[in-house]
């Protein structure tokens, strides 16, 4: 499947996923039905949340989250410039304006609460946070900031499945699962995620009003599903508002369920690998490994290092490629994309430094730990 000697990520797929797919095929029902319902229940239980609603992707989930919150033209949504473009794109899709905030530091590349406070205006309706690489944002400060102003928090929790908030001062929301802290959140089951199903997503919320709107909007605002009619539970349907087809199907839900069963073990494997990386990177001069002192509180989604300067970064990426080791960069600064160039253009100094110096290295549950020293030796060589 890959020409890389060490790919950036790899699936932990086996007989469990094959059996899950076979189960769906044998059931002769492919569209949203009992597998999706079971996946939602199991996911909600893991999240200790009231509602989990399966959707076709996290992008769809973010779209529905913003719509459910009633965000639209004239509203502003403060969000990190260091993020996958989905949240910014969906902000535009609902007619609102993304306002980009800087990250805390190169060592803590999550949205800076003091930046959020500076950027909040009378038009701010929501703040999107993103738990970079699986380490959580400063949710205590962010929650205080937003709650006192009546601003909603949307968690882009795509990197942080299966991990709880931890604050050394033992303050709220200690122990609460990422994605269950804000008003509403979105998870992704894209191939490289900790739960990989190819495509798919989950919206999580404890607010019944938001859950109902998401449930309705994900299926054209229709009052029943084809499954309900198939089972004879409903004969017809009404459309209570315009909506979308953002439904998840049974095959993806079954794969997601098989992966969910492996999540705790695989997140621990990822953390163990991060600890090995930390030991190896510690011997390099001037390189930073973000969140390296809090690996035990991460989902271990990404292994990121920050090079001493952009030139060394570029040379390291080249040397890794020459050695057959795939690397990446999470993420380009969203405010610098052509499509967003006319948006908010604050200085975003730390984000821009980070994007010029960061490298994402291979990390996946089945990565052979012996590879880590070889990978870090390539960085040492430049
Ligand atoms: C942080 C983040 N947000 C949003 C998304 C979008 O997820 P999806 O591909 O499921 O729409 C991703 C996935 O790549 C992501 O990593």
Residue from 66, 84, 248 to probe ligand 1 pocket by mutation (most atoms less than 8 Å from CB): 84
Task: Find all residues with CB under 8 Å of 9, minimum gap 6, and list them.
Answer: 191, 192, 362, 363, 364
Q: Among 268, 274, 265, which residue's Cα sits nearest to residue 362?
A: 274
Give residue 306's pLDDT. 98
Over the chain (382 residues), the average pLDDT of each successive run of 10 is: 88 98 98 98 98 98 98 98 98 97 98 97 98 98 97 98 92 95 98 98 98 97 90 90 97 98 98 98 97 98 98 98 98 94 74 98 98 98 96
Query: CB of 67 within 8 A of CB of 217?
Result: yes
Q: Among 108, 65, 47, which residue's Cα sits nearest to residue 289?
A: 108
Give residue 206's pLDDT. 98
- Measured from the CA of 62, which atom of ligand 1 is nearest? 4
Give residue 344's pLDDT. 54
Q: Among 223, 224, 216, which residue's Cα sits nearest to residue 245?
A: 216
DSSP string over 298-365: S----EEEE-SSHHHHHHHHHHHHHTTB--B-S---GGGSGGGTTS-----HHHHHHHHHEEEE---T
Return the exposure string of 200-210: e unless at least 16 CB atoms fall within 10 Å of the residue's CB, then b: bbbbbbbbeeb
Residue from 9, 59, 331 to probe ligand 1 pocket by mutation (most atoms less than 8 Å from CB): 59
Q: Among 365, 253, 318, which residue's Cα sits nearest to residue 29?
A: 253
Give residue 95's pLDDT. 98
Q: Which residues line ligand 1 (CB under 6 A)?
A: 57-59, 83-84, 86, 130, 156, 158-159, 188, 190, 201
Give residue 216's pLDDT. 97
Whole-structure pTM value: 0.97
């Amino acid at each position: 499947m890959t020409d890389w000697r060490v790919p950036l990520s790899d699936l932990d797929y086996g007989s469990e996923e094959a059996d899950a797919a076979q189960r769906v095929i044998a059931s002769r029902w492919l569209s949203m039905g009992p597998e999706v319902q079971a996946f939602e229940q199991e996911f909600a239980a893991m999240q200790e949340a009231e509602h989990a609603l399966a959707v076709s992707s996290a992008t769809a989930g973010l779209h529905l989250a913003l719509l459910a919150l009633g965000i639209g033209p004239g509203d502003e949504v403060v969000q990190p410039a260091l993020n996958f473009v989905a949240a910014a794109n969906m902000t535009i899709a609902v007619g609102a304006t993304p306002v980009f905030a800087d990250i805390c530091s190169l060592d803590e590349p999550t949205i800076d609460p003091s930046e959020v406070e500076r950027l909040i205006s009378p038009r701010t309706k929501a703040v999107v946070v993103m738990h970079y690489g699986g380490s959580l944002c400063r949710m205590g400060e962010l929650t205080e900031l937003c709650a006192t102003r009546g601003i909603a928090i949307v968690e882009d929790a795509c990197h942080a499945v299966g991990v709880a908030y931890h604050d050394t001062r033992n303050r709220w929301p200690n122990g609460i699962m990422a994605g269950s802290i804000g008003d509403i959140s979105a998870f992704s089951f894209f191939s490289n995620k900790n739960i990989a199903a190819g495509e798919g997503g989950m919206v999580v919320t404890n607010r019944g009003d938001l859950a109902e709107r998401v449930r309705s909007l994900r299926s054209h605002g229709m009052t029943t599903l084809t499954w309900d009619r198939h089972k004879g539970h409903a004969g017809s349907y009404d459309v209570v508002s315009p909506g979308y087809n953002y439904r998840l199907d049974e095959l993806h839900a079954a794969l997601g369920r098989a992966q969910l069963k492996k999540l705790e073990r695989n997140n621990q494997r990822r953390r163990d690998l991060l600890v090995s990386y930390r030991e190896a990177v510690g011997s390099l001069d001037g390189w930073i490994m973000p969140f390296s002192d809090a690996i035990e509180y991460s989902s271990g989604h990404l292994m990121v290092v920050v090079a001493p300067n952009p030139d060394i970064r570029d040379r390291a990426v080249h040397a890794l490629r020459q050695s057959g080791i795939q690397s990446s960069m999470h993420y380009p600064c969203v405010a610098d994309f052509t499509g967003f160039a006319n948006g908010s253009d604050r200085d975003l100094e730390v984000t821009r430094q980070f994007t010029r110096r960061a490298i994402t290295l291979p990390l996946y549950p089945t990565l052979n730990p012996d590879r880590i020293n070889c990978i870090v030796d390539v960085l040492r060589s430049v």
